[in-house]
Structures are given as structure tokens and as C-alpha cells.
Amino acid sequence: MMTNAALEQALDSIEADHAGLIDDLQRMIAVDTSFPPGAGYGAFADLMETLTAPLGLHATRVTVPEALWQTRSGEAFGERVNLITRYPGDQEVCSLYFHVDTVPPGDGWNHPPLQLTEADGKLIGRGTADMKGSIAATLSALRAAARFNLPLRYCPSLLLCTDEEGGFYPGIRYLAEQQLVEGHILSFNGGAAPRIWAGCFGSVDLKITVKGRSSHSGEPVDAINAIEQSLPLLNALHALKQQVERRAWPMPAPPHYNGAPLISHMTLAAAHGGSKGSTVPAQFEIIINRRYAPEEPYDQVLGELHHCIDAAMADSEALAVEAEVIGHLAPVADPTGPHWPRWQAALGVGFGFTAEQFQCYGSSSSSDMGWVQQAGIQEILLGGLIRPHSRIHASDEYTTREDLVALAKSILAYLAADFVPGAAATG
């Protein structure tokens, strides 16, 4: 691959931008954008406008209408503010996608989850790897380009989006359907790995509510115990899970599967009911997560779940059984395309990957990029900071300074006009 002296200087300068990287990241981590409920999106948009304006990027706020994302259960609340920030002009665009929400901090942290902590070579905090760290790396890359007045091959458009972590109507879906995603798309919802993305499964979260009638447990007159009424349903769902997980699919599996195929998954993810021993519970809630392959029609997946519920509860004394989809991510099928060789070469600049190291594989985890494909954008490049040991969605999530710098260099190389991938770097 070929670079000129100015680009080499700009790439080298990212190493010295440690203070800027850390300052940006700690300010992002301090804004609570946990989903649920997703109440911090407006505050995060305020911060990102502050951080991107000095670079000359122009910001536009796009709010998803509440009628699209709100569910009956109401666990999500707050304005769904998505931010598009880009350089002005008519140059060919690369849309850089980030989801700004995180999962809630949860338990078990050894460091404050909403405060960036440097310890033992790690940058610890909720969202460091998934995926506020990728935003910080992008800003560092753009500062380096501005520092040396580098001409860019693509105009970067940063898409800072809501509700990826299980939301019913992710922000990127709304942007894509409103035709606000320009050019091709580079998603940072991936890992720091020499990977050609082969796609991913879809995900459905179904909330089932079984309603009974409460009473004193010592004198249960006219009581209907919602938990006990749900026992046939729990057994039926577990039996369906065993059927579902015998289904294998052709999408290439990750290397650590050691030749085993990707399979569908079904998880009994949550159960809530009752309050104390002296009261018969009047309501029991179950959340099912179903991961489905691109070859499985969504209506068929949902229909199978509803049939299981109806059959299991046909003879129940429950007053009502309700089922509601509270989260849905569409699957991604074969997102490769003409821009992938350049991105592979750029990853080599940052992380040192060779062409021979790249492997093509998908996953049974999910992404909101499926909605982008359904809106007509097939090719989706993938990168990011996630590593197997990054503890995303767990306590003490972290990334490293080295990975932040490597990703920033990869982004700068990809965007720079003077970066020319050589034949040996195209993979």
C-alpha cells in the first residue's frame, strides 16, 4: 500500500493525541445513555455537538417519533435524539455508524461504571469498547487529518444513533428509512479483528404477561396464581428451545466454533412475578429472546412462538395471556461489497493485520444493520474495538489505549485521499 509523507505524519501524530482521546472518552462515559430507558440521548447529542463543532462538522438532530419506539410496557422513555454530523459539501460520503446507547451498568464493578478509569493498561467504563471508544477514535482521526490539512477521499458523516441495545425501533432504522444515510456505511459495532463480515442473525425480544388474581396466600379465595398458571408455558417454551437449537445454517461460523455450524438460539431471558410470601401473585412476566438466521422468515419465527404460547395456555385458568414484541433487530445477509478491500488494507495500517489473516465469518449475535439493508443499502463495512476479553455487557468493560490508537489510524487511512491500498493488502 502507498501513503505520502503528510499522511504518514498524520498517522504518527495520533500516538501523541492521548490526552485528547482520553478527555473525549471520559466525557462520553460520564453521560448515562443506558438502554433501558434511553433517557440520556439528548445530553449525549449536546456533548457530541460540542466535540465535533471545532472540527468543522455541521450537526443535524433527527428525533424518532415516539409512536414508533414506545411499547405498552413503557420501559423506554426520553426523546430519541439521533445526531448526524458531517463536513459540508458534495463530496462522496462514507457514513460512519455508532450506537450511543449502552446496556445498564449492572452489578459487580470494581470501578465506577460511568467514570473512565485507567488501571493495569486498561481503560475501564461502561461503553469503552461498545462503543463510545470508537467515537473517540474517530474524532482523533479527524483531528489528525485537520492537523496536517489532509485531503479526504470520502466525506465522513457520523451517525450517532439510539436504541441499538434491544430497542423496538433503532435510530439507524429511522435514518435509513428516511434516506438520511449517505454513501456507503462503515459500522463500528464489531471487533478489533482481521474479519470480513459475513452477516449476522436477527433478534426478537418477546414479552409474555400472564394475568391472574391476587389474594392473601393464607386464605386464597378466588385466587389465580399467575406464576403457577405459567408452569405449562415455561415447560413448552423450554421444549421449543430444544427444537430451535437443532437448526443449523450456512452462514460461515467464527473460527472459535472449530467447524461447528451457526445455529438458531432461544433464551428464556427474564421472569418476574410476585412480591412477598403472603400474597398470591396476580401477574407473571416472561421475556424470550429468539435469534434467527436470514433464511428464517420473521413472520414464521413469531408465529412459532405465538403457537407455542397458545397451545400451552389453552386450558389455563389465567385471566389473560398477552405477548408483545419489545425489541427486534433484522438479520444481515452477505454485507460484502466493493469498498471492503480498502477497509481491509486500512485495518492493516492500524492494527498490523496481514491479508492472509483475514477470515470471512458471521455470528448468531445481532446488529441493527439489518434495518439498513432492508432500506436498500447492501454493503456494510465492519470494524470496532470489541475483543473476546473486553467484558462488553459485563462489569469492568474495557478497551486499551493501543486499540484506540490502532482504530483511529485505520479510520484515517481509509478516509485519506492519499492512501492507496496495494494488491498485497486487499485480502
Please check whether residues 38 and 183 belong to one and the same domain.
Answer: yes
Report the C-alpha dihedral over residues 295, 299, 301, 305, rounded to 10 degrees. -170
Give the domain-ending residue among 272, 307, 329: 329
Q: With contact defined as beta carbons under 8 Å apart, do 334 and 198 qualify?
A: yes
Instruction: Name 418's Cβ contacts closer than 8 Å, sequence gap at least 6.
Output: 2, 3, 4, 6, 7, 150, 151
pLDDT digits (tens, 9 = 90+) for 233-247: 999 999 999 999 999
pLDDT digits (tens, 9 = 90+) for 221-235: 999 999 999 999 999
pLDDT for residue 325: 92
Distance CA(359)–CA(297), nearest Å, equals 28
Distance CA(80)–CA(158), nearest Å, equals 17
Give the domain-ending residue among 329, 353, 368: 329
Beta bridge partners of 159: 84, 97
Please check whether residues 186 and 294 belong to one and the same domain.
Answer: no
CA 154 remoteness from chain centre: 24
Distance CA(135)–CA(360), nearest Å, equals 25
pLDDT digits (tens, 9 = 90+) for 396-417: 999 999 999 999 999 999 999 9
Please check whether residues 186 and 335 belong to one and the same domain.
Answer: yes
Please check whether residues 309 and 370 belong to one and the same domain.
Answer: no
Mean pLDDT of the chain: 95
Q: With contact defined as beta carbons under 8 Å apart, do 312 and 238 qualify?
A: no
Q: pTM score, two decimals?
A: 0.88
CATH number at residue 300: 3.30.70.360
Q: How many domains does the chain have?
A: 2
Report the C-alpha dihedral over residues 232, 236, 241, 244, rounded to 10 degrees. -170
pLDDT digits (tens, 9 = 90+) for 27-45: 999 999 999 999 999 999 9
Helix or strand holding residue 271 (H, E) = strand 265-273
CATH number at residue 168: 3.40.630.10
Strands 184-191 and 93-99: parallel
Please check whether residues 321 and 381 belong to one and the same domain.
Answer: no
Please check whether residues 192 and 238 belong to one and the same domain.
Answer: no
Please check whether residues 348 and 319 belong to one and the same domain.
Answer: no
Distance CA(424)–CA(356), nearest Å, equals 9
Please check whether residues 273 and 291 belong to one and the same domain.
Answer: yes
Please check whether residues 155 and 260 belong to one and the same domain.
Answer: no
pLDDT for residue 423: 39
Residue 22, domain extent: 5-200+331-425
What is the DSSP code (8-state) at residue 392?
T
Please check whether residues 158 and 298 belong to one and the same domain.
Answer: no
Give the domain-ending residue among 308, 329, 350: 329
